[in-house]
Amino acid sequence: MVGGSNPSTPVLVDPVLPGYLAILRPANALVSGLVAVLAFLIAGGVPGPVAAWLFLAVVLLTGAGNTVNDYYDAAIDAVNRPERPIPSGRVTTRAAARYAGGLFLAGCLAALPAGPMPAVIATVNAALLWGYAARLKRTPLVGHLAVAYLAASLFVFGGSAAGLDGLGRVLPLALITLLGTVARELLKAAEDVEGDRRGGARTFSVRFGVGWTVRLALVLALAGIAASVLPYAAWGFPYLALITPADLLILGGVLRAVGCTTGHCVRASRASTLLKAGMYLALLAFAAAALIAY
C-alpha cells in the first residue's frame, strides 16, 4: 500500500525487544553516545569518568527524545510505522509520556559530572527534543533544522567537555553532520509524505511537494560534501582518502531519489538509507583520521 502499511493488517512484533526498550531505539541511542565520546577524544579528552558520563547522558537523552517523539506521533505511526511500540500496543501513550520525562531528568543529571558546558547543552537539548516532538516537527523546515542541530550538537556536547580549545577542533565535524542530517531528514519526510498528510503534519514535503524536497536535500548533501574537506587542514591526506568513499555514498544515495514525485518512489530508491550509511562511514573516517593524527 502506497504511503505505509494498512493499520488493520496484523504486524509481527519483534519478541526480542520489550516495548519499553524498543521505544528507546537502543541502537540509535548507543551510536549517539559513542559519537559524543568520539568528539570528546578528538577534542583532546582522555578515556575515563568524564567520557562515561557523556556516554550515559546522551544515551538517556536520545532514548527520551525517541520516546516522546513516538508519544506525539502515535496517530501518524499507526499509518507509517504500525510496528512501533505505541501503535502495536506494547506501550501506552500515558506510560510513554512518564517514561520520557524520567529519562530526560536522568540524562540532564548524568551530564552534570562532565562539566558546566555539557550540563547546559544537555538541558537545552532536552527542552528542544520535547519541543520538536510537540510542535517543531510539524513546522516546515524548522523541524528538520532542529533534528540536524541535535545531531550536530553531539560533537559540540562531547567537545565542550574538553574545554574551548577542544571544542574548536570538532566544530567542522558538527557542520558536516548538520548539513548531512538536514538532507536525510528531508528525504525521510519525502518518504512519509502520504502518512504525514493524513496525520495533519505540515512537513516540508507536505507543503512544497516531494520533488522540491529531494532537490533541496541534494543541495544540502553537496554542501556537506564540500564542508567535509575542512578537517583536511588538521588531518591531512589520510583523512581525504578515508572521507571520499563516504562522500560518494552520500552523493550516490541522494541522486537515486532525484526525479521522484511520490513518497513510494523515494522509499524505493533507498536514498535515505544510503545517506545514513554514508554518514556512519563518515563517522568511521573521523575516528580513523583522528587516531592516525593523534
CATH number of the domain enclosing 95: 1.10.357.140
139 and 210, same domain (yes or no)? no
Residue 4 lies in a domain: no
151 and 34, same domain (yes or no)? yes
139 and 183, same domain (yes or no)? no
The pLDDT value given to residue 17: 61
Residue 29 lies in a domain: yes
243 and 129, same domain (yes or no)? no
The pLDDT value given to residue 15: 45
Whether residue 6 has pLDDT greater than 50: no
If one compares 13 and 154, the residue with the highest pLDDT of the two is: 154
In one-letter notation, the amino acid at residue 132 is: Y
Evaluate whether 135 touches 124 at the Cβ level (below 8 Å). no
The pLDDT value given to residue 197: 67
CA atoms within 13 A on the CB side of 233: 7
pTM for this one? 0.80
Tens digits of residue pLDDT in 198-209: 666 677 787 788
Last residue of a domain, one of 162, 185, 214: 162
Residue 22 lies in a domain: yes
The pLDDT value given to residue 72: 86
Closest CA to 240 of 282, 291, 180, 181: 282
Evaluate whether 279 touches 246 at the Cβ level (below 8 Å). yes
Least-confidence region, from 42-46, 112-116, 173-177, 189-193: 189-193
Last residue of a domain, one of 115, 134, 162: 162
126 and 32, same domain (yes or no)? yes
How far apart are the C-alpha atoms of 64 and 61, rounded to whole Å?
5
Evaluate whether 88 touches 82 at the Cβ level (below 8 Å). yes
If one compares 266 and 13, the residue with the highest pLDDT of the two is: 266
Q: CB burial class (10 A; 0-12, 13-18, 19+) of residue 106?
A: middle
24 and 158, same domain (yes or no)? yes
How far apart are the C-alpha atoms of 254 and 264, rounded to whole Å?
15
Least-confidence region, from 77-86, 107-116, 162-171: 77-86
Nine cell digits for residue 7: 493499520
Tens digits of residue pLDDT in 25-84: 999 899 999 999 999 999 888 889 999 999 999 999 999 999 998 888 777 777 777 778
147 and 177, same domain (yes or no)? no
Distance from the Cα of residue 111 to its chain's centroid: 19
154 and 103, same domain (yes or no)? yes
157 and 181, same domain (yes or no)? no
175 and 156, same domain (yes or no)? no
pLDDT band at 14 (very low <50, low <70, confident <90, very high): very low
150 and 178, same domain (yes or no)? no
CA atoms within 13 A on the CB side of 222: 7
How far apart are the C-alpha atoms of 284 and 246, rounded to whole Å?
9
Evaluate whether 286 touches 247 at the Cβ level (below 8 Å). no
Evaluate whether 257 touches 214 at the Cβ level (below 8 Å). yes
How far apart are the C-alpha atoms of 113 and 49, rounded to whole Å?
9
Query: What's the domain range around 115?
Result: 13-162
Based on the structure, what is the number of domains in the chain? Answer: 2
Count of helices and strands (H, E) across the chain: 15, 0
Tens digits of residue pLDDT in 277-287: 999 999 899 98
Evaluate whether 251 touches 225 at the Cβ level (below 8 Å). yes
Residue 105 lies in a domain: yes
pLDDT band at 11 (very low <50, low <70, confident <90, very high): very low
The CATH number of residue 257's host domain is 1.20.120
Last residue of a domain, one of 162, 194, 210: 162
The pLDDT value given to residue 8: 37
Nine cell digits for residue 17: 525487544
18 and 157, same domain (yes or no)? yes
